Structure 1
Amino acid sequence: MLLDLALYLVTPAPWRHRRLGYVRESILLTSRARRCRRAWAPHCAAARTAMLAAAADLPRRESVIVLGSGGLADVPLAELAARFRSVVLADAVHPLGARLAARRHGNVRLVTVDLVAEAVAALCGPADLTISANLLSQLPIVPLDRCEARGSAVPEGLGGQIVSAHLAALDALPGRVCLITDTDQREEDRAGRITDTLDLLHGVRLPAPFRAWEWEIAPFGEAAANRRLIHRVRAYPDWAAARRAVDRA
């Protein structure tokens, strides 16, 4: 807890992002990634593989932008920096570890942006590859939490609207788009019984993925002694191709 407090105080971020809760969410996620490094390893490896698959056959590799880069646990930064002339890491908060990692590469730039409120298209420009990195399900969290903290009613369908808006923004981008996102959560007890489920995309449905896997995001003892949380993850190295497959069906 003391480490989290220290990180909260020293992590660079605009005051607005602190006020909205983005710094707090970033610190909590970074701390969980550190504690659950072993449980997260298969997920992070699968996500990195999907991102590099998206870049493998591109005819042009001038620029790549990673939306939701966060602490870089699931982002193959060194490989992307070696393959592209320019790498942009975009998120509301860039933890200190990510900032130090970015400094090792002369072609990596950090952009601090509220990916809910600010236009993705204006941020990205004509990137050859845009990666939405385990971001989609995260976008509604702060806006929904803020409504609850204020004691105000959550606007009906707000979560789904935020998810749909991000997908629409990705659809409008030039170049290739790689989408990696968790879609649903299940809670299990030690006997393997499902005790609860949660739709992380608020009713928005996605096409069949190129690859899917499970992410043990909170092992036993992390969120509760006798419960663990498992997320289902989908990867689309070429999001537009997945969309076209649905249209042809």
Structure 2
Amino acid sequence: MIREAILYLITPKTPLAKKYGFLYESIGLQARFERVKKHWLPHLKNCQDVFLESLQDLPQKKSVVILGSAHLHEIPLHLLVENFEQITLVDVIHPWRHHWLAKRNPRLKLVTQDLSMILENLENLKNLDELRAYLKKISDKELFYFKADLIVSSNILSQLALLPMSAVEKKIKKNLELSEKDEISTVVTEMHLKNLKNCEGKKLIYCDRKVIYKDPQGEIIYEGFYPVSFAGFKKVKEWMWLLAPLKEASNKYSIEMKVEAYEA
């Protein structure tokens, strides 16, 4: 707890990222990783294998951009340094360690950016209809654009809509229906894919496509899936990820993810 408190104080953050919990979630993610790393190892290896395979047909390896870089659990920094001259990490919160490294290594650049373009307007969204209207308003806008030899969307698709939906739930003082959450998640995901396609360079995306909750006996008690089209992308691999073993998130269930990887 002391370590987490120190990181909370020293990690650079924007006021909005702090207000809406991105810093807290970032520190919590690292703590979870350290607790369940052995369960994540197969998932991490799959991510790294897909990344290394994506390098095989690159005409050059001067630059790479990682969208949703977080702590670089899936693609360790040493793999980026070994394979690219310039490395750009993009996220709302960058761990303190990455700030420290970026100051000492000119090859590493940190970009602090909300890839959904929703964060700065959360305060003005009072209900679900206003969130829907705002998403429609920005649906044709350029949310982000990067140019690099390789651009990686790093396991963030299902995360992009979580904060906006949580903020709306707090304001209306009730939980959104599953159908409403699926609707918003699908819209935000499609916007991300559209902007990723418009970036210049080879694209690699890996993301969870299905969540599965299992009881202590291993029986499935819930499956969730958000429908979205990956038209224009080629599926290259899929695997299962034990995100939270029994007793990590709850004594009543474990959480598994079906992860899929695509290229364009």
TM above 0.5, yes or no, is yes
Q: 1:44-193 residue pairs with structure 2 within 5 A?
A: 44-100=44-100, 102=102, 105-117=105-117, 119-122=142-145, 124=146, 126-151=147-172, 156=180, 157-193=183-219
Distance, in Å, in 1 between the alignment partners of 2:208 and 2:97 is: 23
Deviations 1:135-160 (A, max 9, x none): 11111111111111222686953221
Secondary structure of 1:17's counterpart equals helix
Secondary structure of 2:187's counterpart equals helix
Residue identity opposite 1:69 in structure 2? S
Deviations 1:192-236 (A, max 9, x none): 10011222xx32244672111111000111011242100000112
Aligned match of 2:227? 203
Instruction: Tell me, yes or no, if the aligned pair for 1:72 and 1:98 is still in contact at 8 Å.
Output: no
Secondary structure of 2:158's counterpart equals coil
Summarize the Cα distance change of 1:203–1:70 in structure 2 as closer, same or farther, 3 Å threshold. Answer: same
Distance, in Å, in 2 between the alignment partners of 1:150 and 1:12 is: 28
Secondary structure of 2:235's counterpart equals coil
Deviations 1:39-88 (A, max 9, x none): 11111111111112112220022211000110111113212222222110
Summarize the Cα distance change of 1:226–1:104 in structure 2 as closer, same or farther, 3 Å threshold. Answer: farther
Residue identity opposite 1:131 in structure 2? V
State which of 249, 254, 259 in structure 2 corresponds to 1:223.
249
Q: 1:12-31 residue pairs with structure 2 within 5 A?
A: 12-31=12-31
TM-score by length of 1: 0.85
Distance, in Å, in 2 between the alignment partners of 1:55 and 1:121 is: 23
Unaligned 5+ segments in structure 2 are: 119-141
Residue identity opposite 2:253 in structure 1? R
Instruction: Give the count of matched residue pairs.
Output: 234
Distance, in Å, in 2 between the alignment partners of 1:84 and 1:106 is: 13
Summarize the Cα distance change of 1:99–1:127 in structure 2 as closer, same or farther, 3 Å threshold. Answer: same
Secondary structure of 2:159's counterpart equals coil
Aligned match of 2:133? none
Secondary structure of 2:156's counterpart equals coil
Secondary structure of 1:57's counterpart equals coil
Instruction: Tell me, yes or no, if the aligned pair for 2:213 and 2:221 is still in contact at 8 Å.
Output: yes
RMSD: 2.2
Distance, in Å, in 1 between the alignment partners of 2:163 and 2:20 is: 7
